[in-house]
Amino acid sequence: MWKFVVPGLAMVAVTYALARLSFGLFLPDISISLGLSESDGGFVGSAAYVSYSIALLISSSLIKKLGYHKVIMIAGLTAVVGLVGIAAAHSFWHLLLSMFVAGLGSGLVSPALSQMAQHTLSKKELDQGNTWINSGTSFGVILTGPIVLLFTEHWRLSYILFAIIAIIVLIWNYLSVPSIHVQKLVENSESNWLSVLYKAKFLLTASLVIGICSSIYWTFSRSYITSVHNMTTDQSVVFWIIMGVAGVAGGVAGGFIQKVGLAWSYRVLLFFMLISIVLLTVPATMTVYISAGLFGSMYIFLTGLFIVWSTRIFSDLPALGVSLSFLALGIGQSLGSLFAGKTIELTTYPFSFGLFAGLGLIGLLVPTPIAESSPQRGHNR
């Protein structure tokens, strides 16, 4: 299992954490260098979510035409190009375009890797393999922390280093990921989009809500604790690293869901993620760090849960379910990031974070009708 899971995990770390989510960590220094306002920062962050959503829309078609191996390679290449572009950015529009390119890889890679898992892992390994691959985001977040500590305000140098790491991971995946074309399987999958959307309606609703309420944390949490709580750069980087370390726990989500059940898992994880957003408004260093730990672990657990949920709805083509779920998540994050920037400008950080946590309560009402269904059988290699 691990010979497929580990390189996939590394690709998720590159495309999600390094190419897309690290923007929130570097936003204060980037804003100073390029003269960005809070609204500008929210707009640039939203661009990556928009491209992520577009990539998710076309991911299933690309997997059908090219196979998941080539789609994973394309995801890695967009991450490399985007990271180099960010490192060289000297204007708002240059940064915006680079973030747009950087965001594409994260939208392509999750559906492709879920399809790979379906064809290379056994039934027993499938849920755990998927959730461990998904936890790559946390490993990437952990990696960005020490790099910020080492290079402090030299964010361009950091992004160059990220691009080098992305190239290494791209080569690793090229050599490790099996090149199996899934044309026949995809052609036999569901093609009636109304039927597909109806089947996934609760999954999509849950994904959209969590995308909205989590966006403010990913984009503005570090700006919040440095500008309002007056935490130092080192303290804010420790905050980021704690978020990443805690997220590694998301790798065990598959086993947790099998024991507790999908319905209970979803509601408990969402409730504690909302608590973590509210905790950030408390001006105490320990509380801020607790918030980071809770948010990092709960977010990765929830996205892993969405992958498991998707594979149980679409057993033949999990890439379709993951694409739809993560598309709804991306749309929510795109809208949320824009709304968060404007809300912070018009009100305050504490009010805005509290508002987004309140919006997340809607997610607790979403039914999970497939909660106790058994995991579908994976295909043995």
At 191 the three-state DSSP class reads: coil
CA dist., res. 326 & res. 319, Å (int): 10
Would you state the pLDDT for residue 101? 96
Per DSSP, helices labelled H in 89-232 are 92-120, 123-134, 136-151, 155-176, 183-187, 193-199, 201-227
CA dist., res. 343 & res. 239, Å (int): 23
Asked if residue 372 belongs to a domain, the reply is no
Decide which of 234 and 160 is more confident: 160
Contacts of 264 (CB under 8 A, 6+ apart): 371
Closest to 31 (Cα-Cα) out of 22, 20, 43, 40:
40
Asked if residue 86 belongs to a domain, the reply is yes
C-beta neighbour count of 191 within 10 angstroms: 9
For the ranges 35-44, 146-155, 219-228, 231-240, the lowest mean pLDDT is seen at 146-155
Average pLDDT over residues 36-40: 83
**Site of tokens 């509290």:** 354
Q: What is the pLDDT of residues 110-120, one digit of tens each?
A: 889 988 887 88
Domain that holds residue 17: 2-179+192-365
Closest to 135 (Cα-Cα) out of 302, 293, 294:
302
Would you state the pLDDT for residue 137? 83
The amino acid that residue 165 corresponds to is I
Domain count, the chain: 1
CA dist., res. 238 & res. 41, Å (int): 22
Contact 336, 216 (CB under 8 A): yes
The encoded tokens of residue 242 equal 């704690």
Confidence of residue 128 (pLDDT cuts 50, 70, 90): confident
The encoded tokens of residue 363 equal 């997610």
The amino acid that residue 296 corresponds to is G
Closest to 311 (Cα-Cα) out of 173, 136, 110, 14:
110
CA 232 from centre of chain: 26
Contact 60, 109 (CB under 8 A): no
CATH number at residue 48: 1.20.1250.20
Asked if residue 186 belongs to a domain, the reply is no
Asked if residue 184 belongs to a domain, the reply is no
Contact 278, 360 (CB under 8 A): no
CA dist., res. 142 & res. 168, Å (int): 18
Q: 344: exposed, middle or buried (C-beta count within 10 Å: 0-12, 13-18, 19+)?
A: buried
Would you state the pLDDT for residue 254? 64
Asked if residue 381 belongs to a domain, the reply is no
Would you state the pLDDT for residue 380? 36
CA dist., res. 55 & res. 306, Å (int): 18
Q: What's the mean per-residue pLDDT of the chain?
A: 85
Asked if residue 373 belongs to a domain, the reply is no
Confidence of residue 65 (pLDDT cuts 50, 70, 90): confident
Confidence of residue 109 (pLDDT cuts 50, 70, 90): very high
Asked if residue 17 belongs to a domain, the reply is yes
Would you state the pLDDT for residue 53? 83
Asked if residue 251 belongs to a domain, the reply is yes
